[in-house]
Chains A and B, each alone.
Chain A
Amino acid sequence: MSNPKDRKYTEEHEWVMIDDSTANTAVAGITDYAQDQLGDIVYFELPKVGDNITHLGKMGEVESVKAVSDLFSPIDGVVTEINEKLLDHPELVNRDPFGDGWIIKATMADAAALDGLMSAADYDAFIAGL
């Protein structure tokens, strides 16, 4: 699966994109590379609506059958919505990491901060080097 060009990426394998530019909200998830490395995902520990999240700060955990990993926030902001479907169907992230498997939505403190993250091409090169 190629990494969509309509969003930005972190070295922690999260993606983020503008969800609603007038409300300054972003949507974020983990990449296809991340879900593939994790294997079958069975559990998410997610932040609560209203929680403050900070760029590269821990915002939750993801567990697969064999692994546990922290989820890091790609942005500074406040959580406005979590993907409730993941609580019963965490495998959505394995199936569709860039679509139905989104993880959180948040209002951004500064939308310009996205400019500092990797483009799809940069991220392609980054994971090719791992």
Chain B
Amino acid sequence: MVQLAEIVAYAVTSLASDPGSSYDSQRVCAYLYFALWSIAHYGLMVTSDNLRTGLFDTHVELGGRIVPFGGWDMPVQYPNGILAEVKAVRTAAGVFDVSHMGRLYISGPKATEFLDWVLTGSASTLRVGRARYCLICNEKGGVIDDTIFYRLTDDRYLLIPNAGNRPAVMAWFQKWIDEKFSPGCSMEDVTTQTGLIAFQGPHTPDFIDQVFDNPLSGMRPFSWAEGSIQGVSVFVGRTGYTGEDGFELLVQGHDAVKIWTALTGSGAVPCGLGARDVLRLEAGLPLHGHELDEETTPIEAGLDRFVRREGTFISSQFLESQRMNGVAKKLVGFTLQGRSAPRAGYALLDNGEKIGTVTSGSYSPTLDTSIGMGYVLERYVEPGTILDLNIRGRTVPVTITDLPFYTRTRRT
């Protein structure tokens, strides 16, 4: 009945690595079917060519349930379960292995000029010591990936692509380096030699000062600093993907277990990809492969504020024209009564006519109701609009809602 069924929700994410993917339900069903077929034939134990992070053995020791994600074997949850993990991050502190995400250094005298061309956010106006979220778009404004990049020096940056998109991002960057920015700009992939740990939750500023050799709780959001734990050097960003305060820690691969253990030793709860997905959804944050893909633009996804208006970059003209002329579909958030969850691929309807598609959905433990995001025709985006959702043949009403669903209380 249920063996390995939780993988199903993640199967949709494999769309991310499939250029030209779309969310029509037949395709999603095909992916779901493939996931179930794989499960039936290969079982839970992942014996594929997937990569493993330096913390893989730690996850297994902790009882983490391992699933394939973006080409990696990763823990979807630990024995206490997703709800307990979400609660830990919302009320205290959680720790996530996010070493599956990419780490690329972009360096050279033309690095800034290069990033100004390939990113929707400006590198030249980003000060050393700061970080920025933005999109990597193709010529048609389609999102190859979303990313956070950190300015390390005048001519050196660290850029974090999503796990499954790292090859596509690197191929895209290399093409443009070769065409326009070489010599003078180079890219170095340190993903497999390093580890990345997200440390998230309202108690993390207190914990981080206990665990680190140097005080870091005063760091500003979207800044980075050098720190150390028991003499081990750590690159610390005040960034995250949960809607909570927190930090992301880049370490050498062989130091990952030591840093992880120091954080869990301070009381932080190990959390898997399942909790991470619920947390980012509650915070209204998009996930590439769900809300974003190469057929969808940042304007459609409601990410206009991460697309700069000045300067020329790949897709700048296209995105500006979308801004001026409007778009046919837009990303919305919606809520529904009860705990039955919308799932990616489900249809949104108006009087029985399909006018949209769910991209993500879940029961939200923080709000104790079900929530979802999806694309609808532009005339249905107004908060308060009521639509129907088809949940496996059952029709339930949903209400369009402002995003995010959840906003943390900020410390004063």
Contacts and interface: CB of A to CB of B under 8 A. Distances in A.
Interface of A: 12-14, 30, 34, 37-40, 42-43, 45, 61-72, 90, 94, 130
Interface stretch (B94-102, B175-183, B284-292, B336-344): B336-344
22 contacts: A13-B3, A14-B1, A30-B1, A37-B5, A38-B2, A39-B81, A39-B82, A40-B82, A42-B339, A42-B363, A43-B340, A63-B340, A63-B363, A64-B6, A65-B82, A66-B5, A66-B10, A66-B274, A66-B277, A67-B5, A68-B341, A68-B343
Given A12-B1, A37-B6, 14 more contacts: A34-B2, A39-B65, A39-B81, A40-B81, A40-B82, A43-B338, A45-B340, A61-B392, A65-B341, A66-B9, A67-B6, A69-B1, A69-B2, A130-B43
Given A39-B77, A130-B43, A66 B340 contact: no
B274 A39 contact: yes
B405 to A, nearest CB: 15
Contacts of A30: 1-2
Nearest to B76: A66
Interface of B: 1-6, 8-10, 43-44, 65, 76-77, 81-83, 274, 277-278, 338-341, 343, 362-363, 365, 392, 394
Contact of A37 (B3, B339, B363): B3
Contacts of A39: 6, 65, 77, 81-82, 274
Contacts of A90: 339
Contact of B278 (A43, A61, A65, A94): A65
Nearest to B44: A130
A113 B173 CA distance: 64
Contacts of B338: 43
Contacts of B363: 42-43, 63, 65
Given A34-B1, A39-B77, A72-B1, A66 B339 contact: no
B397 to A, nearest CB: 16
A93 to B, nearest CB: 11
Contact of B1 (A43, A45, A64, A71): A71
A38 B6 contact: yes
Among A14, A30, A40, A71, find the residue whose CB has the most chain B CB atoms closer than 10 A: A40
A53 to B, nearest CB: 15
